[in-house]
Amino acid sequence: MDESGENGGGVAPILRLDAVSRHFGEANNRLDVLVGADLDVYPGELVALAAPSGAGKSTLLHIAGLLERPNEGDVTVGGRLAGQASDSERTAIRRVQIGFVYQFHHLLGEFSAVENVMIPQLIRGLPKKVAEQRAMQLLAYMKVEGRASHRPSELSGGERQRVAIARAVANAPRLLLADEPTGNLDPVTAGYVFEGLAKLVRASKLAALIATHNNDLAARMDRRITIRDGKVVELD
Ligand code: ADP
């Protein structure tokens, strides 16, 4: 790693946490969740975040996703310093650069699968035809194009998560953040859904930070990290 933040191959990280600290409460009640945490995630890289409940996984994801500010330190997403930027700048960076996948799909129940993937693109101002074409491509990539016209209530759990992943990358973000994306699925379905997600991340050269308790999936990622004493620590 040199001073420009590039690794040996000259590639800059998409996500960088630089000496990030986050505490809750004050004085005697102060809880230090992150204490000078550093993390880099590079294009095409899948990083598993595995830590016991309460260790700070959600806090780390929220800070990386620009949903929460660190008390100290900085966050860079796609080359843009965001930790101390204004709220409107942070929102703009988040909209363009970051996709989120949650344990519960959060798809809009009134809309079909393809519409759910189109909506973020329409909000961004893309013409309907273009949005529909990209949505269908992403659904095909996630192997769920046959269910495009179905509403979420008509889909299986695995299908819903495939659609949620397609929606998260609809606007071609650089960073994908996921919190137990397969946590509600049986192990076999979880494996298939993860396979689709991993292929998409690698093919699009996204950087992905994925909180999971599933050791099999963590083992299939490029790196495994945890949070220990408020710091990000590499496992294995
Ligand atoms: P994890 O996702 O690993 O379970 P969290 O990041 O949700 O952990 O929480 C880490 C610690 O910080 C927990 O002890 C939690 O209770 C505390 N915490 C999280 N958010 C807040 C908040 N807004 N106010 C006070 N304490 C919080």
Over the stretch 221-236, which tens digit does the pLDDT of each residue have? 999 999 999 999 999 7
Q: Tally the C-alpha atoms within 13 A of residue 162's C-alpha that lie toward its C-beta.
A: 29
Nearest protein CA to atom 27 of ligand 1, as residue:
24
60-79 mean pLDDT: 95
pLDDT at 3 over 80: no
Q: Give me ligand 1 centre to Cα 59, in Å.
A: 6
Q: What's phi and psi for 111, nearest 5 deg?
A: -115, 155
Q: What is the pLDDT of residues 133-164, one digit of tens each?
A: 999 999 999 999 999 999 999 999 999 999 99
* Alpha-carbon distances of 33 from 27, 39, 44, 164, 220, rounded to whole Å: 14, 15, 28, 29, 27
Domain edges within the chain: 15-235
Contact 56 CB / ligand 1 (< 6 Å): yes
Across 32-51, average pLDDT: 97
Span from the CA of 33 to the centroid of ligand 1 (angstroms):
7
Element (H, E) at 233: strand 231-234
Residue nearest atom 5 in ligand 1 by C-alpha distance: 56
Indicate if the pLDDT at residue 1 is higher than 60. no
Average pLDDT over residues 114-139: 96
Residue 9 confidence (pLDDT): 64
Query: pTM for the full model?
Result: 0.93
The yes/no answer on whether domain 15-235 falls in CATH 3.40.50.300 is yes
Of 31, 63, 213, best ligand 1 pocket probe by most atoms within 8 Å of the beta carbon: 31
- Ligand 1 in contact with 170 (CB < 6 A)? no
53 lines ligand 1 (CB under 6 A): yes
Q: Is 208 helix (H, G, I), strand (E, B) or coil?
A: strand
* Residue 24 near ligand 1, beta carbon < 6 Å: yes
CA of 69 to the centre of ligand 1 (A): 14
